[in-house]
Amino acid sequence: MMIEYTPIGVIHSAFKKLEGMPIQPAGAAGIKGRVEVFEDFREGLVDLDGFSHIVLLYHFHQGRGFNLKVVPFLDSRQRGLFATRAPRRPNPIGLSVVRLDRIEGGVLHIENIDILDGTPLLDIKPYVHEFDTQTEIRTGWLEKGRKTVSDRKSDGRFK
Amino acid sequence: MMIEYTPIGVIHSAFKKLEGMPIQPAGAAGIKGRVEVFEDFREGLVDLDGFSHIVLLYHFHQGRGFNLKVVPFLDSRQRGLFATRAPRRPNPIGLSVVRLDRIEGGVLHIENIDILDGTPLLDIKPYVHEFDTQTEIRTGWLEKGRKTVSDRKSDGRFK
């Protein structure tokens, strides 16, 4: 079974290469970027400006193939791919929750962006606390590393 | 530009049709289901059992086409599609944060499932508070409706 998607826009940021990027939005506080939504889809942006945060789903367009075991940025040991957020995946879909500053025409001005310049946008969803937030969670191997995420940058390991 | 994905598994649940389903995981507390990960990808599940919650990305396989304005389940007015979580979208990717009970072989036993039986699975990511949770949020038109989500069920409007 093959599933075909077409980008609805493109994400613009200051990050031109995979090395030295923030690892997650938590490591990109205040870093600004833009999401350009293509003309054909702009009517669907109505009402989105009421939301302070949005979920971006996008296609990791750099890096080919994947390994089912990887050494993630926040660890020194191999981990199962699906227990990590590494970008090279069987279906390389990226997920970031970012702050939405304002919308001008078809352009979303966003903050806390950890996304490579030129990344194809697949979907935008409103971020809703009741839908997306969990409490009393366990985070396995990431239990230590997750707290250091804002100080860490990517390297070239997933090119 | 065309992006091609292939399912890595299939989601099994008690929900056989689109009507009468929970609207979000928040409306599906305690409802159990299974995620069957295909043989070729199982090695990537190592370490995932340390996480209490996971993000499932999947393909909304029922319902064809989309409208850029929709009347969402939690409102009586038309809203821009990207300001809603409606399933019929240009790229119909579903996102649910669910509780992971245990993993047996290639099967993930999960709770709080709001997903239709037979849904193709695209990706699994660990849910991490620092990456995925936002505070001080505004939720626009959903400000009232979001608190009633656990009492509401879907109808056939997005078939």
pLDDT digits (tens, 9 = 90+) for B39-71: 999 999 999 999 988 999 999 998 789 999 999
Closest of B99, B95, B91, B76 to residue B157, by C-alpha: B76
Q: What is the mean pLDDT of residues B109-129?
A: 92
Closest of B4, B12, B139, B1 to residue B74, by C-alpha: B139
| Tens-digit pLDDT profile for residues B133-159 | 666 677 777 777 677 777 777 777 777
| Strand positions, DSSP E, B92-138 | 93-104, 107-111, 119-126
Nearest CB to A128 within list B52, B81, B146 = B146
Where do we find the tokens 């509780």?
B99
* CB of B50 closer than 8 Å to CB of A140: yes
DSSP code, position A38: P
Better-predicted residue by pLDDT, A94 or A155 = A94
Chain A residues with beta carbon closer than 8 angstroms to that of B8: 90-91
Query: In this predicted structure, what is the pLDDT of residue B132?
Result: 66
Question: Cβ–Cβ of A137/B51 closer than 8 Å?
Answer: yes
Distance, CA of B59 to CA of A47 (rounded, Å)? 25
- Average pLDDT value over all residues in chain B: 87
Residue B90 has pLDDT above 90, yes or no: yes
Candidates A56, A62, A115, A130: best to mutate against B (most CBs of B within 10 A) is A130
Q: Among A79-88, A102-111, A130-139, B145-154, which stretch is predicted with the lowest mean pLDDT?
A: A130-139
Residue A131 has pLDDT above 70, yes or no: no
Q: Record the tokens describing residue B111, joined without a space.
A: 């709770």
Residue B10 has pLDDT above 90, yes or no: yes
Closest of B53, B101, B125 to residue A79, by C-alpha: B125
Q: What is the pTM of this model?
A: 0.90
Query: In this predicted structure, what is the pLDDT of residue A132?
Result: 66
Chain B residues with beta carbon closer than 8 angstroms to that of A144: none
Identify the closest residue of chain B to A146 by CA–CA distance: B130
* CB of B3 closer than 8 Å to CB of A7: yes
| Tens-digit pLDDT profile for residues A18-53 | 887 877 777 777 889 999 999 999 999 999 999 888
Q: Among B83-87, B117-121, B128-132, which stretch is predicted with the lowest mean pLDDT?
A: B128-132
Query: Residues near A124 by Cβ (< 8 Å), separated by ≥ 6?
Result: A8, A35, A37, A45, A48, A54, A55, A56, A57, A108, B82
Chain B residues with beta carbon closer than 8 angstroms to that of A124: 82
Distance, CA of A11 to CA of A135 (rounded, Å)? 30
Q: Is B38 on the interface with A (CB under 8 A)?
A: no
Q: Among A49-53, A134-138, B38-42, B118-122, which stretch is predicted with the lowest mean pLDDT?
A: A134-138
Chain A residues with beta carbon closer than 8 angstroms to that of B150: 130
Query: In this predicted structure, what is the pLDDT of residue B22?
Result: 78
Better-predicted residue by pLDDT, A113 or B138 = A113
* CB of A134 closer than 8 Å to CB of B126: no
Q: Is B84 on the interface with A (CB under 8 A)?
A: yes
Query: In this predicted structure, what is the pLDDT of residue A42?
Result: 98
* CB of B33 closer than 8 Å to CB of B110: yes
Residue A138 has pLDDT above 90, yes or no: no
Distance, CA of B88 to CA of A22 (rounded, Å)? 32
Residue B109, φ and ψ in degrees, nearest 5? -90, 120
Query: In this predicted structure, what is the pLDDT of residue B156?
Result: 75
Question: Cβ–Cβ of B43/A80 closer than 8 Å?
Answer: yes
Q: What is the DSSP string of A51-77?
A: BSEEEEEEE--SS----SEE--TT-SS
Nearest CB to B47 within list A45, A127, A141 = A141
